[in-house]
Amino acid sequence: MDTLNKLDIIGVSKGYQKNDVLKEISFEVKNGEFLSILGPSGCGKTTLLRILIGLLELDTGRILKDGVDITHTSADQRGMGIVFQNYALFENMTVFKNVEYALKFHKETKGNAKAIAEEMIEIVGLKDHMQKKPGDLSGGQQQRVAIARTLALKPDIILLDEPMSALDVATRLTMRDELKKLQVSFGTTMIYVTHDQEEAFALSDRVMIMDQGEISQLATPEEICSHPANDYVQTFVLDNLQEKVDSLAKFVYRKNRES
């Protein structure tokens, strides 16, 4: 086992009735890495994320974090944070209260919850929106609140479940850059679930491509492009990736012409 690994996932399986959602998958996540899990709906990527954070029990296998077995450790003891697809913000609370809320329940942060919340809100560029409620914010701003709330607890691993799927193209491009900058500045390991090929390749150190509960390929974007593991990777990833890159190039060209 590599001591540089932040996570070691060993033979993890999960099934519902007769449907095998995950089929004894094994992989590692390196310390400080941005790893994307890429695959179509129903391939098992969100189930895997929920198992990693501790919201779902696995059927077989083990999960090690920094070499320590956390397979049956409760979610609040794993040192991980998660940003959900719908952001899961409290609609009746301000931006500040949303970020401060969880801090007040942790012994280590309770005393200075206000200062931490204000700092994180400023870091994600929402200082002027601190007293607004989620309904008064754009989709991109709501995502920033969700990220600030997660970062405030200083997890050493952050899991993101398709957090940009509801955003328009321009906002997605902006948020990508901001997310990558935050990851680098905080030194956080990030695991990012997406079905968008271009998004995965733009953000990631490595991409894990899933198909029907199994790993088809786990490699750097460059390695996948030059040596796709099989026909599935070629058709689902590379062929679709080219289409998305072409579409994105046209969008950027139009925006540049308009400005």
**CA torsion 77→81→85→91, rounded to 10°?**
90
Q: What pLDDT, on the 0 to 100 scale, is given for residue 165?
A: 82
- Domains defined for the chain, CATH in brackets: 34-45+80-258 (3.40.50.300)
**First-to-last CA distance in the chain?**
52
- β-strands 60-65, 214-219 pairing: unpaired
Cβ atoms of 203 and 176 within 8 Å: the answer is yes
Token digits of residue 120: 């994180």
DSSP letter at 101?
H
Read off the pLDDT of residues 184-206 as tens digits, 9 standing for 90 and up: 888 899 999 998 888 899 999 99
Task: Return the amino acid letter for 189.
Answer: T
Read off the pLDDT of residues 13-45 as tens digits, 9 standing for 90 and up: 999 888 899 999 999 999 999 999 999 988 999
* C-alpha separations of 30 from 120, 188, 205, 240 in Å: 25, 11, 10, 27
154: helix, strand or coil: coil
37: helix, strand or coil: strand
Q: What pLDDT, on the 0 to 100 scale, is given for residue 26?
A: 98
| Helix 240-258 × helix 169-186 angle, to 10° | 100
List, as one string, the DSSP characters of 210-247: EETTEEEEEE-HHHHHHS-SSHHIIIIIIIHHHHHHHH
Q: What pLDDT, on the 0 to 100 scale, is given for residue 120?
A: 93
Q: What pLDDT, on the 0 to 100 scale, is given for residue 253?
A: 61
Q: What pLDDT, on the 0 to 100 scale, is given for residue 68?
A: 96
Instruction: Name the helix (H) or strand (E) containing 35.
Output: strand 34-38
Residues of the chain with pLDDT under 70: 1-3, 248, 251-253, 255, 257, 259
- β-strands 206-211, 214-219 pairing: antiparallel
Instruction: Name the helix (H) or strand (E) containing 200.
Output: helix 197-203
